[in-house]
Structures are given as C-alpha cells and as structure tokens.
Amino acid sequence: MREASAPSLAPVDPLIRLSGVSKTFSTGTRAVAAVDLDLMPGEFLSILGPSGCGKSTLLRMIAGLGTPTGGEIQWARGHGGGSRHGTRDLGFVFQDPTLMPWANALDNVALPLILEGSAKREAQAAARDKLALVGLSGFENAYPRELSGGMKMRVSIARGLVTEPSLLLMDEPFAALDEITRHRLNHDLLNVWRDVGFTAVFVTHSVFESVFLSQRIVVMAARPGRIVSTLDVAAPYPRDEMFRTSSAYASLCRQASDQLKLAMES
Amino acid sequence: MSIPRTAKTTTSDLGPLPPASSVRSNDRWLKLAAPFLVGIIFLGGWEAAVRIMAIPPYILPTPSRIIETLISDWPTLAASLRITLAITFSALAAAVVVGGALAILFTQFKWVELALFPYAVILQVTPIVAIAPLIIIWVNDTNLSLLICAWIVAFFPILSNTILGLNSADHNLRNLFELYGATRWQTLRYLRLPAALPYFLAGLKISGGLALIGAVVAEFVAGTGGTASGLAYRILEAQYQLKIPRMFAALTLISLAGVAIFLATSIIAHRLLHRWHESAIKREN
C-alpha cells in the first residue's frame, strides 16, 4: 500500500502524469477532485470504484474528451497530442461496443486509420491484423448485429489497438457481458496486452476483475471522486484459471474489497 | 501477432453466425395470396352487384368495363400517365435534392436552421390546393408550376426526417470521432450520413406518395385551363363528358402508380438497410 503520488515503480518517466486533476460540472457537482496519478509505460492499471465515483470522467479526461477544470494532464515527450486536431497516442474502449451498425467488422476496426488519413487498403490490412489478434479472423465481413456481445467487444478492442497506441483506455468494457464470456475476454485481453505491450488503464467496479487483470489497482471514492488508496498486485503473468483459484488471488481480492469498502464509507 | 489461444476461443465462444433469413415459404405464400384473394372477392362482388342491380355505367361501371376502357383508351391514358409520372418523379427528385441538401445545411449550421425552418413549416402546413392557383398564375410554364406544387408537398418529410437522422448518431460514436480528430466532413461522411439513411428512406417512402398526390392535385387546380394533359386532366375531362368508365380507368392508373412508387421505395430501403438496420431484419423470435 502506498499513496498514488509516491515515487514511481521504476526509474522511468511516466507516460502520463496527472497532477491535481479536478472536474466540476456546470451543475456544481464535483465529479473528480485533485487526482494525482502517474501512468507508467507498459503497466496494467485498474481504476476500481463504486458507480458515480468519477472514474469514467477521469478516464475521459485522460482521453481528451472533456477538459479538467483544475490541475494538469501531462504526456511524456513524443506521445503528446495537445493540438486540437492532432490525434492522441491512445485507444479508447467504451462501455458499449460503440460500433457503426452500417459497417462490417473490418471497416469498423479500420475507422481510426481512415480518420487519420490512411489509404483504405492499408487501413484494412491493419484492421485484418488486429481482428486476428483478438481472435476474430474470418469475421471481417460480419456486421455488428450478426456478432455476439463478446465478439462486438473484441471488435471494439481491435479498433482501439489499430493505431498501435501507447495507451489503451477501457471504460468498464465487459460490464454488460455474462461471467463466462467476461472471464474469457479478461484472459484474452491479458494475452494481447502482454503480446503488444501497450499501457492499459481499465476502469471497473468489479474487485475480481481488477485483481485478475492488473499490476496496480487505484481505488476511488465518490462525492467528490478521488483516489483513496493504491494496491499493488505482485502476482506474475501469465495469469490463468489457476491464478483465479489461488489463495494469493483470494487474499488480494479481500484486500481490494476492504479498500473499496473503506472508500464507500469515507 | 496471433496468440495461440485465439483459434480455440474463436470456435468456442463465438458460435455460428445466425442463419441468413430463413425462408419460410408458407409465410411468403400467404403474404401474396391473402391480399390477392381479398381483391378477387371485392372485384367479383362489385361486378356481381352492378350487374344484378343493373346500375348504369355512368353511375358505377363494372370492373370488367373499366379494364375494357383501359385497353381501348390506352393510347390517350398512357400519354397522360407518362406526363403525370414525369411531374411526380421530377418533383420527387427535386425534393430529395433540396430536402437532403437543406437538412445537411441545417444540421451543419444551426443558425441557418433557426432562420429557415419556420418557413419550411409554413410551406408544409399551407394547403397546396390554396396556393396552387397562385403558383399556376405566377409561373408561365404549366408543367413547371405543377412540378413546384408537387415539390412543395413532397419535400418536407424528407427534410424533417433527414434532420432527425443526421442528429441521431450515437453519442459515444461521436466521442470516438472526436477522439480521432475527425474533421467535420469526415464526421458527416462516415457517421452522420449513414446514421441518417434509415430516416431519409422513411421520408422518401412518404414523399413518393405525396409527390404523386401533389402532382394530381395541382393538375386538378390547373384544370381545363391548363395545357397539360395528365391523368387528373383526363378525369376532369371524362367527368364533363360523362365518360365514367374512363374516369375510373384513369383513377385506377393513378392508384397503380402510387402502389408502384411505394413498392419501389420499399425495395430501395430494404436493399440499403437489410444488412444492418433493425427495421429491415427478419427475426426468428
């Protein structure tokens, strides 16, 4: 256990540094209050908290969807993306798959590259690769409504990765899925993460999910949304079903659960 | 970069694609047979009633007499049909172009919508019968004046539906486009226009019928004073000459034209939407 603003894990510069980031809506609600957080390159970080604790708002601010009303979000050199139309070095996976219903899986995944001005052929080739990465080879021509909930989420993740970003932000991506599908997607997501090596920020309200996936869990409390504690998950990867049933996993879940409970009482 | 597990997961959690529209031939047969049967019963009853009660053809002709007239007067009626259809389709095309373009303009520039939309509504709510005489007086070319009348009636559904569609793009998808720095044009092309398509097509279905109604109504108003000789003019002419079977024949052609336009727009809509839109998909449950 340590404070979020404590020195970073290793002597490397963070990919992103949040200092005193706050968001107050025009209604006067303080959604996020003074968050300090360093995102280290290549780490898998979960933001765990009850609904309404501002975790989604925080994630959207990191993505540049909505600006903080206080504090600063600094990117490491070369990943910037401050300019209004310069794209940021990140992918975003929404809570819903958020696919274009009129386009097939391939065109949905290719969209970010098309928007960045890539040629259609190249964009589709990259999209094909990413669909294979998430296990959807052969579904290039399927339309979203022909895919199951889990498959749609895979397409959404492939789209988030198609620009080869340093950072993938995920906003409770598996919350609407059944548990079996969710477990499988957690598992495959970890494989893809280890394979590709991006920095992952995963917002969730599931203790088990956050422990299974991450190296570091940031626990947030509501009213106002703030970080109350940070938990390191030292278990090595690859993590599989064995890890899910291990005593280490159980005790980590207990710890995270306690932190969450404290957060909700505070 | 594929991971060893992917092949396994692909086959296990993804499952087969739902079957492409299973053919339920029974349903399809009923769909055609039922209305056909109703039509046969109706026309047979009509024929029988007119014959039994000996109603003179200048009051109510039999269906067989109407068909006879349709065949014997075909050269005249076909020429009139062509004129009415030409006006209808020109008006519909103009409605699509102007309605669609205005909708895009309105959604791109809010102040244009604020400034012009009330006038579009005024144009729509004013009965066409009331303004048609004015248009016919103001515009020298009769065909052009008829076209304007039909256009006024037809364009509003396309305008209002397309505006609704352009504004209905999913909120998260808009965020996604913003995230990737999409330009206004890209957002229009890849997001708002496709999202508006089902709405536009619903508007087109309504406007297709309205364009025909507009053309016919305007012709009625232009009446014998006009030089045009569309189907409405044939109806007026036949009425004055008490050629009631011919009047019915012209009426039949108008109805058939309306049905054909409806079917055509329905087919277009289905073709464009059947892969992805809820409205065009057959469900098993």
pLDDT in tens, A159-170: 999 999 999 999
Is A218 a residue whose pLDDT tops 80? yes
A136, B10: Cβ pair inside 8 Å?
yes
What residues of B are in contact with residue A195 (Cβ under 8 Å)?
A: 1, 3
Is B18 a residue whose pLDDT tops 50? no
Check if B6 contacts A (Cβ < 8 Å): yes
* Mean pLDDT computed over B161-178: 93
- The structural domains of chain B, ordered by start, are 79-275 (1.10.3720.10)
Q: Which of B5, B10, B173 sits opposite A100 (nearest CB)?
A: B173
Range of weakest confidence among A29-33, A86-90, B212-216, B220-224? A86-90
CB pairs under 8 A between A and B: 109
Q: Quick: pLDDT tens for B225-267.
A: 555 588 999 999 898 899 999 999 999 999 999 999 999 999 9
* Mean pLDDT computed over B78-100: 95
Residue B142 has a pLDDT of 83
A133, B1: Cβ pair inside 8 Å?
yes
Residue B101 has a pLDDT of 95
Band the pLDDT of B133: cuts 50, 70, 90: confident
Residue B281 has a pLDDT of 67
In Å, how far is A264's CA from the nearest CA of chain B? 29
Residue A240 has a pLDDT of 86
Residue B283 has a pLDDT of 61
Is B122 a residue whose pLDDT tops 50? yes
Chain B from 187 to 226: CB within 8 A of any A CB: 190-191, 194-195, 197
Residue B163 has a pLDDT of 94
Q: Which of A132, A142, A191 sits opposite B5 (nearest CB)?
A: A191
Q: Quick: pLDDT tens for B179-225.
A: 998 999 999 999 999 999 999 999 999 999 999 999 999 988 887 55
What residues of B are in contact with residue A100 (Cβ under 8 Å)?
A: 173, 190-191, 194
Is A89 a residue whose pLDDT tops 50? yes
In Å, how far is B174's CA from the nearest CA of chain A? 10
Tokens 């007086």 — which residue?
B137
Residue B13 has a pLDDT of 43
Q: Which of B191, B195, B275 sits opposite A143 (nearest CB)?
A: B275
Report the chain A residue with the minimal C-alpha distance to residue B21: A146
Residue B285 has a pLDDT of 52
* Mean pLDDT computed over A118-147: 95
Residue A250 has a pLDDT of 94
Residue B5 has a pLDDT of 39
Band the pLDDT of A85: cuts 50, 70, 90: very low
A112, B180: Cβ pair inside 8 Å?
yes
**Complex ipTM > 0.90:** no
Q: Which of A96, A144, A146 sits opposite B17 (nearest CB)?
A: A146
Q: Which of A87, A103, A139 sits opposite B180 (nearest CB)?
A: A87
Residue B29 has a pLDDT of 86
Band the pLDDT of A12: cuts 50, 70, 90: confident
Check if B277 contacts A (Cβ < 8 Å): yes
3-state SS string over chain B? Answer: CCCCCHHHHHHHHHCCCCCCCCCCHHHHHHHHHHHHHHHHHHHHHHHHHHHHCCCCCCCCCCHHHHHHHHHHCHHHHHHHHHHHHHHHHHHHHHHHHHHHHHHHHHHHCHHHHHHHHHHHHHHHHCCHHHHHHHHHHHCCCHHHHHHHHHHHHHHHHHHHHHHHHHCCCCHHHHHHHHHCCCCHHHHHHHHHHHHHHHHHHHHHHHHHHHHHHHHHHHHHHHHHHCCCCCHHHHHHHHHHCCCHHHHHHHHHHHHHHHHHHHHHHHHHHHHHHCCCCHHHCCCCC
In this predicted model, which residue has the larger pLDDT, B276 or A127? Answer: A127
Question: In the numeric block, which tokens belong to residue A244?
Answer: 């899910």
Check if B140 contacts A (Cβ < 8 Å): no
CATH superfamily assigned to domain A1-89+166-266: P-loop containing nucleotide triphosphate hydrolases (3.40.50.300)
Mean pLDDT of chain B: 87
What residues of A are in contact with residue B16 (Cβ under 8 Å)?
A: none
* Mean pLDDT computed over A232-259: 91
Q: Which of A88, A146, A150 sits opposite B13 (nearest CB)?
A: A150
What residues of A are in contact with residue B176 (Cβ under 8 Å)?
A: 92, 94, 98, 111
Check if B7 contacts A (Cβ < 8 Å): yes
Mean pLDDT of chain A: 89
Report the chain B residue with the minimal C-alpha distance to residue A131: B2
Residue B143 has a pLDDT of 85
Pairing between β-strand A30-39 and β-strand A16-24 as defined by DSSP bridges: antiparallel
Residue B225 has a pLDDT of 56
Q: Quick: pLDDT tens for A171-200.
A: 999 999 999 999 999 999 999 999 999 999
Residue A81 has a pLDDT of 53
The SS3 of residue A152 is: helix
Q: Which of A63, A138, A148 sits opposite B179 (nearest CB)?
A: A63
In Å, how far is A184's CA from the nearest CA of chain B? 8
A181, B7: Cβ pair inside 8 Å?
no
Residue B24 has a pLDDT of 60
Check if B183 contacts A (Cβ < 8 Å): yes
Q: Hey, of B274, B275, B283, which one would you mutate to test binding to chain A, going by the most A CBs within 10 A of its CB?
A: B275
Question: In the numeric block, which tokens belong to residue A62?
Answer: 């990191």
For chain A, the domains span 1-89+166-266, 99-164
* Mean pLDDT computed over A204-223: 93
